[in-house]
Structure 1
Amino acid sequence: MIRLHLVSCLIALAALSACSSEPFSDDEKKIIAQLRLSELGSLEPDQSNRFADDPAAAAFGARLFVDARLSANGLISCASCHDPERQFQDDEPLGKGIGTSTRRTMPLAGAAHGDWFMWDGAKDSQWAQALVPLEDPREHGFSRAGVAQLIAEVYRTEYEAVFGALPEVGGQPDLPQLTLLERDQNHTRGEAEQDQINRVFANVGKSLAAFQRTISLEATRFDRYAAIISDAVEADDRNSFNSLEIEGLKLFIGKAGCIECHNGPRFTDDFFHNTGVPRRDEAPADPGRSAVLESVVGDPFNCLGPYSDAQAEECHALRFMVRDEAAMKGAFKTPSLRGVASRAPYMHAGQLQTLEEVIQHYSDAPAASTGTSEIAPITFTDRGRAALIAFLKTLE
């Protein structure tokens, strides 16, 4: 009888299941405690956007977020891709607006806690990022002058309540045979007029960012279990993990090495890594972060630019950014794993369809299509794969 009990315990321990009432070491408990959403804290001020936490700016931004008039065809709004019913993303492998992008739509909840935005970190603030889709011909396909005119014609009251008097943004030539974007491109304007348009354009981005800062993450079953592990609350059956979920959590913070990049309460280090993700179909290799190192520094809408509200010494991310092009080749921002189980497909261009494929990718650790991959192969058992997925589902 004793021998049978010993064998059963050895089998359970091999599967990292609960033979003991204490499945985690003290060091593991400390790591788990740091992953709780309650450890996230409040948002840091965005020094480059003095309207970032202005309720009126957020309310204005919420209206702009769903307004399809901010597009060349009058059909695309921010919410078209950042669907509130789908974690503010679209479940598509590539973002779809007027055309099709080359990368996935990123979810917005909790994103304001990061320093860099977009898969390649091409923008150093949420308000600067919000401007990109408006001008991208594959997304909204609009123009800065078109945005300014819409504000003047439709949103003057809301704009002036937040930002003060709307500057004179001028008109565009009467060329009805051209699209709005083409009319804007054919309109020659002076430096002062362009600056006024840019300032209205920047303020639209700041309003959109103010709204996005209100999109917060919600606590999950993992957070409740982590509180139990940390002795912050008493255990109950509804919040406890089963043996497979416990094994998955142990793998995540241990042997699997996921915690190296997916750390902190948002399960991301907000940095850029080359993990050897394959190309999508026959698309050219995406250089990722390395391709934007110069443009982000020269961006007129960055933290050091004329439309920022920050002092130069407050622009820490931009001033101390890693500028090693070789190290950043093929590197992309680590996405948050909160809600990941219901957010397929995966990777920056939706190259992998399921979590099983993601785990297989990290198990194989293929060579990168461009640059050098940082990952090494990891051997997973079938149970280990199932355990990791079971754990990731607790982040819903």
Structure 2
Amino acid sequence: MAKRLAGGWTLLLVLSATNAGAIDSGLWSDSELTALRSLALSSLPPLPADPSNRFANDPAAVALGRRWFFDQGLSSNGKVACASCHDPDRDFQDGRDLAKGVGRTNRRAMPLAGMAYSPWLFWDGRKDSQWAQALGPLENPNEHNLTRGGCAKWVLAHYRSEYRAVFGEPPDLSALPDNAGPLGDKRARRAWIGLDDSARDAVNRVFANVGKAIAAFERRIAWNESRFDAYVRALGEQAPATPENSLSSEEIAGLKLFIGKAHCVECHRGPLFTDLDFHNTGVPARPGLPKDWGRLTGAEQVVADEFNCLGRYSDASPEQCRELSFINKGERRLLRAYKPPSLRNVARRPPYMHAGQFASLEAVIGHYNRAPAAPAGHSEIKPLHLKPAEIRQLTAFLNTLSGTIDSRPADARPPESSR
């Protein structure tokens, strides 16, 4: 029996509601209900502290970080901002297979919602905080293409009073070369080597503070409740069925597959729908791109990063850097292992995987269903033997994970004027 609801949405009451019109918890075993509650947004703990960034909860830093997030002046051509690859209208990603800044990158842009909960940033985890992550694209020649010194001088030229209000009196960098940096071209690197230690430290301090303000804004980017979350809440409350809190028979079948036969929760678990670890799932290499070893090299990079939790620009004490202190690196299993992104809003952000290898959710599920050998290293997955109808059901469930995104208490829209 089906009941036609507003907007043409059809609810199959025989599976998702009782005769009285309430959500039917009898469809689920006790263990399944426990699994569903563990996935619901209501089980997400409060926003974690970032001891490495003492400005993380400073409203003035949030406001300044928001301006820098949208300011295209923070790029060599004046056309690229953080929001170029992390567009609020696209769930803070860009919808491209490979991110594009000043040039084309080798990776898909990751969405930003919920990243404050992750101990590792980027697909390979080569950064260990949001503020350190924000610095990477600024110096990447294919993204913002700035030199470190050029970035610091530009910020103080255009935001000196705002910088002072958050971070205190800025250093005088006027005598420094315009484009000195450790990661730039030969001329930039030569200029960087020519600076004395105090000058390099002053530049690094301003540069780190840019990342800390941007992170203060980004850490508030969060999901709102999806239809799946409303369904789990209604199950617990035995609430009446509505289009906003109900799942169809196909979506329920897909959810049962997600927590059961398809083994999705092995990597996509908890309210974030990710375990925040790194996995080799046999994703094919993309032709034309450099060899990519994933977490194997990412772990080495984060340990060497001068902006990591244990570095001099971190505000954390060493005992607050446990993730970095006990990092796993050099293990064979890390070869071509990547961090599984959250599946929240996943239906709204094709293409998928670290280099946009798959155009649709059906293609992703098909890959896991076949479980081909990895191009390098050892794949963790095994064939699922899902039938075509089950692939459709699983896809239908994944569509229920979509909800709006906000960045409370900061506005996620561009400011009227970046400067």
TM-score, L = length of structure 1: 0.91
Root-mean-square deviation (CA, aligned residues, Å) is: 1.8
Instruction: Pick from 233, 236, 239 the counterpart of residue 234 of structure 1.
Output: 239
1:157-202 superposed Cα distances (whole Å, 9 cap, x missing partner): 1111111110122434489xxxx97764342211110000000000
Alignment partner, residue 195 of structure 1: 201
The one-letter amino acid paired with 2:332 is A
Selected match of 1:128 from 125, 132, 136: 132
- Is 2:88 the counterpart of 1:103? no
Q: How does 1:18-37 map to 2 (within 5 A)?
A: 21=24, 22-37=26-41
Q: Does the 8 Å contact 1:17/1:244 carry over to 2?
A: no
The answer to whether the Cα contact below 8 Å between 2:15 and 2:249 also exists between their aligned partners in 1 is yes
Q: Report how many aligned residue pairs link the two structures.
A: 376
2:211 matches 1:205: yes
How many angstroms apart in 2 are the aligned matches of 1:86 and 1:209? 19
Moved more, 288-297 or 92-101: 288-297
- Counterpart CA distance in 2 for 1:275 and 1:254 is 18
Q: Mind listing any 5+ residue stretches in structure 1 that lack a counterpart?
A: 1-15
Q: What is the distance in 1 between the residues matched to 2:16 and 2:66?
A: 47
User: How does 1:74-223 map onto structure 2 within 5 Å?
Assistant: 74-173=78-177, 184-187=188-191, 188-223=194-229
Is the contact between residue 99 and residue 137 of structure 1 (CA under 8 Å) also seen in structure 2? yes
How big is each residue's C-alpha offset from its partner over 1:86-124, in whole Å with a ceiling of 9 and x where there is no partner?
001000000000111100000101111111000000000
Could you tell me which residue of structure 1 aligns to residue 413 of structure 2? none
Counterpart for residue 411 of structure 2: none
The answer for the alignment partner of 1:387 in structure 2 is 393
C-alpha separation in 1, matches of 2:156 and 2:398: 47
Name the residue aligned to 1:244. 250
Q: Distance in 2 between matches of 1:174 and 1:375?
A: 50
Q: How does 1:370-381 map to 2 (within 5 A)?
A: 370-381=376-387
Indicate conservation of the 8 Å contact 2:149/2:177, yes or no. Answer: no
For the structure 1 residues 148 and 181, does the alpha-carbon distance in structure 2 shift closer, same or farther, using more than 3 Å as the test?
farther
Q: Distance in 1 between matches of 2:204 and 2:382?
A: 46
Aligned mates of 1:251, 1:65 — CA distance in 2: 39
Instruction: Report sequence identity in percent.
Output: 51
CA distance in 2, matches of 1:321, 1:184: 32
- The TM-score, its normalising length taken from structure 2, stands at 0.87
Give the secondary-structure state (helix, strand or coil) at the position aligned to 1:45: coil
Deviations 1:347-385, CA, capped at 9 Å, x for gaps:
000001111110110011011111110000111112111
Distance 1:233 1:112 in 2: 33
- Structure 1 146/181 Cα, relative in aligned 2: closer, same or farther at 3 Å? farther
> In structure 2, which of residues 349, 356, 359 is the aligned counterpart of residue 350 of structure 1?
356
Structure-2 separation of matches of 1:219 and 1:114:
20
In 1, are the aligned partners of 2:149 and 2:178 still within 8 Å (CA)?
no
Q: SS where residue 386 of structure 1 aligns? A: helix
Per the alignment, residue 59 of structure 1 pairs with: 63
Instruction: Give the match's secondary structure for 1:290.
Output: helix
Deviation at 1:324, TM superposition (A): 3.7
- One-letter code aligned to 2:263: G
1:68 to 68, 72, 88: 72
| Aligned residue type for 2:353 | M
For 1:46, the equivalent position in structure 2 comes to 50
SS of corresponding position for 1:378: coil
Give, in whole Å, the separation in 2 of the partners of 1:352 and 1:205.
Answer: 32
Change (3 A) 1:181 1:51: farther
Distance 1:235 1:34, change over 3 A: farther
Contact preservation (8 Å) 1:117, 1:123: yes
